[in-house]
Structure 1
């Protein structure tokens, strides 16, 4: 019985043995850890989802396992594609960057599963550096915000004068008013160092009740 089990797990002809499989999965796990920490380090949304991040590691390992099973067997690969084609995933992806991380994990699984370690390692390190650079280096770029101003109607002209003087590209997105109050929504482009200055300036206008900045990722400032 022991000889049969050893023959099946270790020395079976045409298949990767158990020790090689463990080696491949460990390499996949190490590279998945790069994805895990890159996602956590560069996340800029409102609520960090640790379960999704852990699922990226699982996806990498599962893809690697599938590639180990397929190997170079064309018939088995076609059968695997047919079996997976009946599975329908309905998980909503809210952030487009999450989709990119999913494809990154699949790419690692495909590369490591076919034992192309160098491609997987170099590609993962390169992607991690690019993502960190673009996440924390603004390169002079401006972020777009929705500026929501609420106050008394008598200060409307002063608010509009300041807006069009400081932000020539400001666009009106909505306006609500009553006999005494008004609410204006503008789209503006700001650098990080301009946010506090903008809020302080509006609060100096007599009659302003609240000023909110809403970023595209849902964060609210002010």
Structure 2
């Protein structure tokens, strides 16, 4: 049997093997899992700017990978064409947060497993992922990291500023001195409701201004 005969036979056989209820169920499971991932991502997101478009992409990625898996498993011609098409695709979107990769691969693998009919694996893996995220984020300190940029005059004022932080966790990142004027950058970890240190610093003589910038990063200390 030649290659052409094999392909024709595969095409004719694939039309008779289409199981519409099975495909609909797989796509429905992929959609439900994608929606669950969407809400989990929104619940545990800790960055500065929440990207709703990326969260919606997670849902679409789950459904599309399920569709690819279903098409590859039913038709050899489509599978060869899909391999050729995907080989020329280049993804150039930069992923800034490593956790976004976790959600992205979770969505892709869930779609593949749903397309393969492994619904139990999809559910169990989803529960494990949600439990893992809840476990690690429950032990995370509640608060935010800020960069406090303080401009002041004089050499002795720096000691008063550090005392003004009190029990607030802080770490001096840099000091830039230009003549008698000094710019101090301090990394501060605090609750949004506990901003009293900023008022205490601003009340110090020779302090010109205090700027708080929310920092998208991890706090260690």
Q: Does 1:206 align with 2:208?
A: no
Whole-angstrom CA distance in 2 between matches of 1:142 and 1:47: 16
Q: Secondary structure at the match of 2:93?
A: coil
What is aligned with 2:6? none
What is aligned with 2:126? 124
Q: CA deviation at 1:21?
A: 0.7
Q: CA deviation at 1:131?
A: 2.7
Mind listing any 5+ residue stretches in structure 1 that lack a counterpart?
1-7
Contact 1:147/1:213, CA 8 A, preserved across alignment: yes
Contact 1:154/1:207, CA 8 A, preserved across alignment: no
User: What is the total number of aligned residue pairs between the two structures?
Assistant: 207
What is aligned with 1:216? 215
Q: CA deviation at 1:48?
A: 2.6
Q: CA deviation at 1:47?
A: 3.0
What is aligned with 2:35? 33
What is aligned with 2:55? 53
What is aligned with 2:182? 182
* Matches for 1:84-99 after TM superposition, within 5 Å: 84-99=86-101
Q: CA deviation at 1:173?
A: 2.4
Q: CA deviation at 1:54?
A: 1.4
Mind listing any 5+ residue stretches in structure 2 that lack a counterpart?
1-10
Taking structure 1 as reference, are residues 166 and 30 closer, same or farther at Cα in structure 2, changes over 3 Å only?
closer
What is aligned with 1:111? 113
Given the two structures, how large is their TM-score scaled by the length of structure 2?
0.74
Moved more, 197-206 or 23-32: 197-206
